[in-house]
Amino acid sequence: MNRKEKERIDRKIKSALSSENSKVSFILSRLELAPLISPRRTFSPDSMLKAFIFMDLKKIKSYRKLRNYLHGEVDDRRNIGFDDRIPTHQNFSNFERKLEKDDKLRIDYIIKEITKISSKYEIDLGRPYKNTLPETYEVGITKYQINNRKKELLHELIRQLMPKLKMNIKRNSKYSKKEQLNVILKAMLENRFAHSAAEDLRENGIKSPASNTVLLNLSKITVKEIQNSFVSLCNDTLMKAKRRRMFAGRKFDVAIDYTLLHYYGDRNHPDIIQRYDDRGTNKYFGFITLAIVEKGFRFTAYAVPVFDDIRKKSQAELVETLIKEARRWVDIRYVYADRGFGYAETFRALDKMGEKYIIPIADTSRLKKILNYATFPLVVKDHIRGGYTIPYLCLIKGAKGIIKIATNVRLNAKDLVLISRMTGLYSKRWGIETSYRVIKRGSWVRTTSNNYNVRLFYFLLGIMIYNVWVLLNILMASYLGNRKYGRYYVILKNTVEIFLAIT
């Protein structure tokens, strides 16, 4: 291979890897390999070459397994260039025998470059192929069996988790824990108030307490008891995933964010914080949460209540607490946060813990001067902010202006395509926003209560059920023999329905 040819291949690989989608098959779909080889018959030479590269990168050991994989994964098959017709193992074998020496050198070079660049910039190419389950999993499994398996798995999870949910119901109470919890779950299922949910249950002849009774009992549980109860529940849920080695063999991106619940009561309430004006108030109940933002694994790992207006130093301490908790479950690749965390104290804390961060920052007078004469994309090295030296500041032109991203991920100022990829990486932070949007649609109780304990219980119960739902989908993927997590076999409302039916 001559130098020009290598440079052309490098440009194509970097361009493909700069995309937000880091799937191996998608990267290969951006490459044009047909001009590099002599035309062959039967199947497109371009697709056949991509299949060989894909097979090596995914560590698939035989042509039969490659064919079976492509048969089950429609997206990967189409990205490589095959439609409904897939080559047999004989086709692959014959094609390989007829390859010229230069063709083989090109394949090896492309594999080496993709591996090298993805490793350098920590681009996740996805899990290696592992055929641990039957390849013909769909044969003989009916919808009835699938629905039964959902209920069995959820019943098992509830039986193990629910005893740890503390509601401080006394033995001489007229209504049991199950009856009081049913009111909350009914309100959660239909996204309504506890009052109307309790009335519906009574009209249907089900023994149910009044909403006032439920809210009174919740208000008597201390904040520490609620926190300890839900930390224990979340830990158990994540431990079940970890024991099944769902987190093994890869690194995960995590995101930190504020979650704010609107408050309309006494402005001197000790548990509220002040933020921006929205929906007629600037007072909120606040939480800082950390969530895994990889598709199919979007667990909320930890949530910390925030009281009063948090200072930069205490914010950095909370970030340390969240990162330490996340490390118990996953190996962290990047930490994302919004510009509300873009302070020197936060950067210093993440650096001290050895974590790589990608966080946007607000404008400063010094930064505005740079923007006046800069050409984009641009990397500013050793940018000083609040006494802390940001190793790399990426300035990238976006649709709504210049995006300013601080990071300690090592960058080369000449790799403009990979610098632009920073915006694609940061967009994964929206995974945490997606999680809370799903929670609000599927497991959210409407309330006007100004009692902090009640609001905290509702919020953490929604997170707990959401985490169980994520775990349930992972377990269903394993049951059906699907090697690709991220498909949803159960919707969140169905999970709440089953909770209501069997608690």
How many Å from the N-terminal Cα to the C-terminal Cα in the chain? 66
| 240 is a domain residue | no
Whether residue 336 is predicted with pLDDT greater than 90 in this model: the reply is: yes
Closest CA to 51 of 89, 80, 19, 88: 80
pLDDT given for residue 363 in this prediction: 85
The three-class DSSP label of residue 240 is helix
In a domain, 70, yes or no: yes
Mean pLDDT score, 237-252: 89
pLDDT confidence band for 141 (50 / 70 / 90)? low
How many C-alpha atoms does 326 have within 13 Å on its Cβ side? 30
User: What per-residue confidence (pLDDT) applies to 134?
Assistant: 38
373 vs 488: CA distance, rounded Å: 48
Answer yes or no: is 427 within a domain. yes
Q: Closest Cα to residue 101, out of 159, 181, 36?
A: 36
Is 112 a domain residue? yes
Q: What is the DSSP letter of 485?
A: -
* Average pLDDT value for residue range 89-98: 86
Using CA atoms, how far residue 274 sits from 156, 306, 311, 446, in Å, is: 42, 11, 12, 22
Q: Is residue 228 part of a domain?
A: no
Q: What pLDDT is attached to residue 139?
A: 39
Record the tokens describing residue 444, joined without a space.
């959210």
pLDDT band at 136 (very low <50, low <70, confident <90, very high): very low
The reply to whether 277 and 391 lie within a common domain is yes
Say what the pLDDT of residue 388 is: 92
Average pLDDT over the chain reads 83
Do 408 and 311 belong together in one domain?
yes
Q: What is the DSSP letter of 20?
A: S
Query: Would 115 be classed as within a structural domain?
Result: yes
User: Is 162 in the same domain as 84?
Assistant: no
| Number of separate domains in the chain | 3
Same domain as 412, residue 324: yes
Q: Where is mean pLDDT largest: 232-241, 419-428, 432-441?
A: 232-241
User: Could you tell me the pLDDT band of residue 328, with boundaries at 50, 70 and 90?
Assistant: very high
**Start-end of H helices in 162-301:** 177-189, 194-203, 211-220, 223-243
Residue 16 has pLDDT above 50, yes or no: yes
Shared domain for 369 and 336, answered yes or no, is yes
Asked if the model's pLDDT at residue 332 lies above 90, the reply is: yes
- The number of angstroms, rounded, from the C-alpha of 270 to the middle of its chain's C-alpha atoms is 33
Residue 21: predicted pLDDT: 61
* Residue where one domain finishes, among candidates 388, 406, 434: 434
Across residues 250-256, what is the average pLDDT? Answer: 92
Mean pLDDT along residues 218-233: 91
Most confident of 78-87, 214-223, 360-369: 214-223
Any domain includes 45: yes
308 vs 454: CA distance, rounded Å = 18
Question: Are residues 412 and 459 located together in one domain of the fold?
Answer: no
Q: Which of 311, 285, 300 is nearest to 457 (CA)?
A: 285
Q: What is the mean pLDDT of residues 42-69?
A: 86
The pLDDT score that the predictor gives to residue 191 is 87
> What pLDDT does residue 484 have?
55
User: Which domain, by its residues, includes 186?
Assistant: 143-223+443-502
The per-residue pLDDT for 62 is 87
Higher confidence at residue 372 or residue 180? 180
pLDDT at 76 over 90: no
Pick from 22-26, 145-149, 191-195, 264-268: least confident: 22-26
What is the pLDDT, as a whole number, of residue 132? 42
The residue from 60, 86, 120 where one domain ends is: 120
Is the pLDDT assigned to residue 133 strictly greater than 50? Answer: no
- Read off the pTM: 0.76
